[in-house]
Amino acid sequence: MTTQPAAFLAGKHRPIFWIVLLAIFSLALAIRLDDLSDLPADTVRPLHSARIARGMYYQGLANISEWEREFAIALGKTEQIIEPPILEALTAATYRMLGREELWIAGFYSLLLWTVAGIPLFLLAKELTSAVGALVSLAFYLFLPYAIEMSRSFQPDPLMVAALIFALWALARWGNDQGWRWALLFGILAGLAIFIKAVAIFPILGAWIGLLIGRGELKKAIRQPQIWVIGALALLPAVIYYFYGSILAGFLSGQSGGRFIPAMLIQPLFYIRWELKAAEVVGQIPIFLGLLGLLFFDSVSKKGYMIGLWGGYILYGLTLPHHIASHPYYHLPLVPIVALSLAPLADTLFRKLDEKWNHSARVHVYVSGLLLAGLVFISWEVHVGFKGVDYRGQIAYWEEIGEKLNYSSAVIALTQDYGYPLSYWGWINARIWPSYGDLRYREKIGGNNPDFASLFTLMTAGQDFFLVTRFEEFDYQPELEQYLYNHYPIYDQGEDYLIFDLQRSINP
């Protein structure tokens, strides 16, 4: 998988390359640190991890009330753990060192690892094409707007993508010399990525098989000891974790339900939604150019490697159809895949320009300036987006609701993000009234929804108050809206919330 050095690295043009590379990493880190202390727009997944981290932190925390300790620990334990809580444990440990709870800490770890993973991505893209192709791949990976935002998120996906990139780089190095050193490193890094989040197995396995096919070694691979050692290293950490969680401890039992829905695979709408979510993350034009770029790799082994990588992503989507068609962050592994696929296009274009201008420094300066100007423009747009919305005010909003409900009340809520902001900042672990979308999803996976009267009786049993903060959703469920107004008095209300007193019926 080796390639000839590009003129961009040679002789008097070498300083330009290093200046551009340093500028890319510096700017990428700076834009990710910008306004890091603000809250995420979508709090569901980050606050899932934040509640686990708080529970860990409060276990050894002094100078707090006993009910706060018990609430935080119990809330953390109620979270359904699927992936190993690596980032949560690291964040909780940092809380203990600092002596306070700061959500941005987890975001800092995520963005730092995402940015550092740009190094093996650059090296891998250079291995596949050239230095200039690698610069374009790196720029795409680090400055894709969605990736900038998600790389600061408190969830395992940024860590998984970072580990995935390291593993893919080690795989390419192993493909070059197939020595034990690279075999062991590839197996360990693949095992780490799969351990962080099991879906990493799809692109890793796809690229591995594609590389072996491209080298014509797939049939004889099964007889090679290295293959078995790599497979064991890659799978063993996750196998141990999932065996312990499913069989011994039981906290993973039932977690796979509702993920694979075969009926979706024969629905044309599913593939449209998949493409739209993928485009939301990386853009439609980059996807098209990335697929076109597969034709420009200059060896069969490179083509096999990259086609296998794309094939792994496709198999991943077919295995988790509901999530791939509804959760944008499930497409994060596509970011490095598209980034690598753009490298040969950039390399081909630059070589043509370089030849046309007789390897003049002017074309190097012009291309470098154009690339950096584009990245500065993207960074400015992202900066404006960060500063244009401030979500910090939500903390006071949820704290106010918590105070109104006296913290200890039994509450059922039609509220945002499955009650995570309410529980995290309002200290109310409410029972969540299902949204219209939740009811539809239950039907999709074969469940039966009870009639309204039965559902209301079941859900409100033992509850003191019914909290409404999602008024659009309230309008989608007119039967619920009318029933609450007709049967229960309003206990309290604000500009953006409404509380019904379920203990005082006005129309039995």
CA 304/CA 308 separation, integer angstroms: 6
Would the pTM of this model clear 0.95, i.e. be above it? no
β-strand 497-501 against 490-494: which pairing, if any?
Answer: antiparallel
Beta strand segments in 310-449, E: 411-414, 431-432
Residue 97 vs residues 37, 101, 241, 428: alpha-carbon distances, Å:
18, 10, 28, 27
| Residue percentage of the chain with pLDDT more than 70 | 94
Read off the pLDDT band of 15 (50, 70, 90): confident
Q: Is 490 exposed, middle or buried (0-12, 13-18, 19+ CB in 10 A)?
A: exposed
Which residues have C-beta within 8 Å of that of residue 61, sequence separation ≥ 6?
69, 96
Residue 492 vs residues 448, 465, 504: alpha-carbon distances, Å:
34, 10, 13
Our CA angle for 10, 13, 16, nearest 5°, is 125
Q: Residue 63's Cα: distance from chain center in Å?
A: 35
Q: What residue ranges do the domains of the chain occupy?
A: 7-38+110-381, 44-102, 393-501
Q: What token pair was written down for 308?
A: 């296998």
The answer to whether the beta carbons of residues 49 and 154 sit under 8 Å apart is yes
Q: What token pair was written down for 344?
A: 């040969």
The answer to whether the beta carbons of residues 239 and 426 sit under 8 Å apart is no
Model confidence at 210: pLDDT above 90: yes
The mean pLDDT of 5-28, rounded to a whole number, is 75
Q: How many CA atoms within 13 Å lie on the side-chain side of 381?
A: 11
Model confidence at 7: pLDDT above 70: no
33/248: higher pLDDT? 33
Look at the block and give the residue holding tokens 């990525």.
Answer: 193
pLDDT per residue as tens digits for the range 125-143: 999 999 999 999 999 999 9
CA 188/CA 166 separation, integer angstroms: 10
